[in-house]
A = this chain, B = another copy of it.
């Protein structure tokens, strides 16, 4: 019953941005008669996990039912009791999960359930979850580092602005709305002091009508130059952190310390170069607008490549249209 797992994935996606450093898990409970009777997602840290939320929604109908969870249920006592216990207490008879928990402290939930007589199966829609709502958290759980998505919008000929520096708007309204949706779901947006000085971006997530989204990611400015106190990035629309370092590993360590799991790197070309040289870009998300410019700045500078054999190899993960634009998602072929 992939429909129930899809419902769990949707719930998982909606929980992105509020759960870090915990994973934004989604869960759905299907009653013995086949009806989806409860859907839930991880609450902010300290709050109940997805399974508990879904079980609460299902109530008595969970008894003898099946749970669909995007991540293997945890079996450890953290700030909340183990989810395995909640599933057993509710009388769940089968559990399907998408992705195994890579965290050795939390893993083993499947075994605990099996030992208690529950039928357990992993791997259902695993790729959708790994590339989707749990992508950043899985990376963080495996490496200890926040996941970095480097996003830029360029013309078909690879320019991010025209010769005079203007770039509003190189990409379509649909792509811009999509980027605001992504911003809403990440923990932090990162830009360099050069971009702050040149473009004075606010680095906020906005709704389609232009108003500020209810939840704002942390704004992170990277670099040793001071920020102009009048810069928009210092306004009171969201919190802002200035990391006085050019070293991506130092930047990511500072962010991990604050519980940041999912990072959107937005500019500029030198900062992107530094992250790429350090192998700290985990995904490139490129919006290609169908326009030609023939002059203007590039998205990337100084990536440590001098000759073609040193080119940084990526693999195309996904190509889709975003309105009139082409959106390419690419991941490094090798990362440390």
Contacts and interface: CB of A to CB of B under 8 A. Distances in A.
Contacts of A292: 276, 284, 300, 303, 305, 311-312, 314
Interface in A286-336: 286, 288, 290-295, 298-316, 319, 321, 324-326, 328, 330
Contacts of A325: 316
Interface string A144-177: 0000000000111111011110111110000000
Interface string A261-297: 0000000010001001000000010101011111100
A268 to B, nearest CB: 12
Interface residues of A, number: 53
B330 A286 contact: no
Contact of A308 (B166, B276, B311): B166
Copies of the protein in its oligomer? 2
Contacts of A305: 162-163, 292-295
Given A308-B170, A315-B290, A326 B326 contact: yes
B293 A311 contact: yes
B162 A288 contact: no
Contact of A311 (B155, B302, B315, B321): B155
A162 B325 CA distance: 26
Interface of A: 154-159, 161-164, 166-170, 269, 273, 276, 284, 286, 288, 290-295, 298-316, 319, 321, 324-326, 328, 330
19 contacts: A154-B158, A156-B284, A157-B158, A162-B306, A162-B311, A170-B311, A284-B292, A288-B328, A290-B315, A292-B303, A292-B314, A293-B303, A293-B312, A294-B300, A294-B303, A294-B312, A295-B305, A315-B324, A316-B325
Given A157-B303, A163-B307, 11 more contacts: A155-B158, A156-B328, A162-B305, A162-B306, A290-B330, A293-B303, A294-B301, A294-B304, A294-B312, A319-B321, A326-B326
Q: Give 3 nearest A-B pairs by CB, closest first.
A: A158-B158, A294-B303, A291-B311
